[in-house]
Structure 1
């Protein structure tokens, strides 16, 4: 019996009590199931009686006793105790607890995932770095976390659309073009321009793609030639840089459903349409020759300009148009994953949502991630050979590989800064979390191969009958602990999705790996010497395979490989 099945049993007990006239409460669709910290308190606990007591107009313990009496008739439940103010402490029957292993193997790659869609569409925007340079180390963290969060949300039953917002309009594009043009002329980058060897590389490629550019670069045509050369450098430079960003992220295992161009919003008249809609809703006013959005009505610290006095739209105007565009494409909830320097965007985006008539609590999530730094042996790694002034995704991957990079970046909460020691995360020892988890999977895969070599039935055999295994034999304390841990994956996925916290998956996997290693050290799985395989051997092999499935499923949610050999 999985925790979800136990929750269904408790809901059924409430429903029966209501039908029998013992309780007068709304029947919940689901209830909370927890694992007690102390094993002597049972396999699972639920506070459902305390949650229903007010509606029932009865003391929580009295409600708990009513539900406990009904649960005790369930053949999968061995014991129910009412504890404290009204907790239900539940111990499952041996076969019911062992049934978790059967459910995991039966579910395979689908185990842990929601069985029914939620009917909610979530738009997840992350990375969205300007196409004016390589993917930085900070953006690498957003790539790892964002992709993992998209996978977790999908596993929890949401329909997820991922987007990269391409800032291909505005001052930064002009500066990038000017920097490329300066590199072609052998001049220093302009003030506030872009530096690093990559600028010279892009400049060389721009010239190769535009044979007539050299004459314009020479500047013999005066201002017109300069403007043409600048336009070509900006246009092609951004396209080439964006192509490199796409390739870099794909190599990191990150793909986007949509690369949304800011320029396309301008060209399609979306900014004007957004202003008109906001004006019709009464939130736009004109002052000092500019057009403003009255965001202070919705908690922003000041009103925001939509169009400057020179007639040019602001970045904020594009943000408003982009929000409107996402909502018009049918997304129910918009999730933005932004860097530490974007904290001020929270109030602005919430105000935009409110001005369009939405409740920000229902339609908007803004997640602010903190910075990441690299060190080696305690000494900071400060400079990229190619970028010159900042570290890149390539720097990290070249040092430790994709799996170690992705796992190390996602295992910490986004609201905490992160210092990665390259020596630690490249090390193949148990103090390296990604190795610890991947090694558990590889160790199990080796055990299963050895079992097959001994002629023992495993799930790799198409004729293997999961239901025929006597899982009631799994009664050792370490077996019970491992079964309980395996049953937690659906709840962990649900929690990670609800809190937008994929690092919870990583921490769960590390705990599971530790639980498995303790089980393996205490419970011999394969027969040795002339020993015959027994029913307990088959049960433990099923438990081992279930652990492999959960480790693989969890690693997949993080975009990390589950190696069979290490």
Structure 2
């Protein structure tokens, strides 16, 4: 079950509770599903009980208790635990990780897209400033992933004014220049230095683009060894959970970037995804005389999904994703 499917499952649980007379609320348009926070458990968590508590006239913990059996009885859900003031922590069945990877690979560049902003026109009024124009250009693409349409104008009053760059970033080249302007938060002054060009671990842009190139190299190497990726359950391999979590969080990162006009949120998520992938890339290919196994095929599918997310995110930022680096 993917995060999008799980969100629908949570909403269906709310609807069943309403139909059964257990809750008196308006079923919301969407339910936010994220990774469990500190003190949480399971594969995903939702704050839907806290969201509905005031409307229901009941404490969040009681709302969570009402929703718990409706969610735990849904196909693909193995267990539901309540933590904190009323967070519902959901543990999925054994095929959850495979389903998530399959979803990423099937949707390709459109993974993470939604209709949250469907029918909405987002007006971006920017000053005549290089950084503001690059941020607005990027937001046009990001807003479109959520079903909205962004219109950019040079007009007052300005509603998008990130801190300007201290100097012209053009000498860095198109990719590094865009990264230098987009990666910092809007209230932070960007650094226009050659650090964005160095090919070492200290450079986040290099790590993201290198990680993408490595996913492509692993696929080529696996093909030479005679096997291809096949999504499988890898949740028992602890070092891979961070990468699965990055996939699950990517749709949320896109929504936040679109609705809060913060492309830096997407850039930072790509860094997290790249770091999670690079930490386990050495496990993808067989070593020595080892034969490719189901585990290797599952890890390769995971690597290919990482490449899909990284390529899609870089494209939205207007930055190239090289197959060789």
Write out per-residue CA displacement over residues 272-319 of structure 1, whole angstroms, 9 at most, x where no aligned residue.
Answer: xxxxxxxxxxxxxxxxxxxxxxxxxxxxxxxxxxxxxxxxxxxxxxx6
Deviations 1:32-64 (A, max 9, x none): 222223486222211211222222232322211
Check whether the contact 2:34–2:248 (CA below 8 A) recurs between aligned residues: no
User: What residue number does 1:151 align with?
Assistant: 141
Whether 1:161 aligns to 2:151 is: yes
Secondary structure of 2:296 counterpart = helix
Counterpart of 1:110 in structure 2 is 110
Q: Distance in 1 between matches of 2:97 and 2:293?
A: 20
Residue in 2 that maps onto 1:211? none
SS of structure 1 residue aligned to 2:108: helix
How do 1:180-195 residues align onto structure 2 when only pairs under 5 Å count? none
The residue aligned with 2:77 is: 77
**For the residues of structure 1 that align with 2:303 and 2:8, how far apart are their CA atoms?**
27
2:315 to 537, 556, 566: 556
Contact 2:165 2:189 in 1 (8 A): yes
**TM-score, normalised by the number of residues in structure 1:** 0.55
1:522-541 Cα distance to aligned partner (Å, 9 max, x none)? xx111233322222121111
What secondary structure is seen at the aligned counterpart in 2 of 1:504?
A: helix
| Aligned residue among 169, 180, 188 for 1:408 | 180
- 1:148 touches 1:558 (CA, 8 Å); kept in 2? yes
Partner of 2:65: 65
Match of 2:273 in 1: 512
**Correspondence 1:100 to 2:90:** no
Report the Cα offset of residue 159 of structure 1: 2.0
Q: 1:434 aligns with which of 205, 210, 213?
A: 205
In the alignment, which residue of structure 2 is the partner of 1:306? none
* Equivalent-residue separation in structure 1 for 2:140 and 2:11 (angstroms): 30
Contact 2:13 2:67 in 1 (8 A): yes
Provide the C-alpha distance between the structure 2 equivalents of 1:39 and 1:25, rounded to a whole number of angstroms.
28
Give the 3 Å change call, closer, same or farther, for CA 58–123 of structure 1 in structure 2: closer
Partner residue in 1 for 2:31: 31
Shift of 1:126: 4.1
Distance 1:439 1:473, change over 3 A: closer
Identify if the C-alpha distance between structure 1 residues 39 and 100 changes in structure 2 by more than 3 Å, giving closer, same or farther.
farther
Tell me how far apart the structure 2 counterparts of residues 547 and 457 of structure 1 sit (CA, whole Å): 15
Distance 2:13 2:120 in 1: 30
SS in 2 for 1:368: coil
| 1:367 aligns with one of 152, 157, 160 | 160
TM-score of the superposed pair, with normalisation by structure 2: 0.93
Query: Across the two proteins, how many residue pairs are aligned to each other?
Result: 325
Q: Which runs of 5 or more structure 2 residues have no equivalent in the other structure?
A: none
Deviation at 1:470?
Answer: 5.2
Partner-residue secondary structure (3-state), 1:122:
strand
Change (3 A) 1:373 1:93: same
Q: Residue 94 of structure 1 contacts residue 471 of structure 1 at CA under 8 Å; is this kept in 2?
A: no
| Maintained 8 Å contact 2:117/2:143 | no
Q: Hey, what's the Cα distance between the residues in 1 that align with 2:193 and 2:215?
A: 28
* Distance verdict in 2 for CA 1:24–1:123, change over 3 Å: closer
* 1:397 equivalent in structure 2: 170
Matched residue SS, 1:45:
strand
Any idea what SS the aligned residue of 1:560 has?
coil
Question: Cα distance 1:535–1:510, how it changes in 2: closer, same or farther (>3 A)?
Answer: same
Q: Secondary structure at the match of 2:256?
A: helix
Establish whether residue 543 from structure 1 lines up as the match of residue 315 from structure 2: no
Judge which range, 528-537 or 100-109, deviates more: 528-537
Partners of 1:419 and 1:470 lie apart in 2 by 40
Larger Rg: 1
The alignment partner of 2:228 has SS state of: coil
Deviation at 1:144, TM superposition (A): 2.2
Q: How far 1:151 sits from its partner (Å)?
A: 1.1
**1 CA distance for matches of 2:79 and 2:257?**
31
Residues 168-183 of structure 1 aligned to structure 2 (within 5 Å): none
**CA RMSD of superposed structures (Å):** 2.0
How far did residue 442 of structure 1 move?
0.7
**2:253 alignment counterpart:** 492
Q: Distance in 1 between matches of 2:309 and 2:285?
A: 21
**Equivalence for 1:530:** 289
Indicate yes or no: 2:14 matched with 1:14: yes
CA distance in 1, matches of 2:175, 2:131: 13
User: 1:17 touches 1:66 (CA, 8 Å); kept in 2?
Assistant: yes
Alpha-carbon contact 1:98-1:483 (below 8 Å) kept: no
How far, CA to CA, are the matches of 1:403 and 1:556 in structure 2?
A: 11
Contact 1:437–1:513 (CA under 8 A) maintained in structure 2: yes
CA contact (8 A) 1:32 1:48 kept: yes
Distance 1:140 1:53 in 2: 45
Native 8 Å contact 1:492 1:508 kept in 2: yes
State whether residues 474 and 536 of structure 1, in contact with CA within 8 Å, keep that contact through their aligned partners in structure 2: no
Q: Which residue of 2 aligns with 1:2?
A: 2
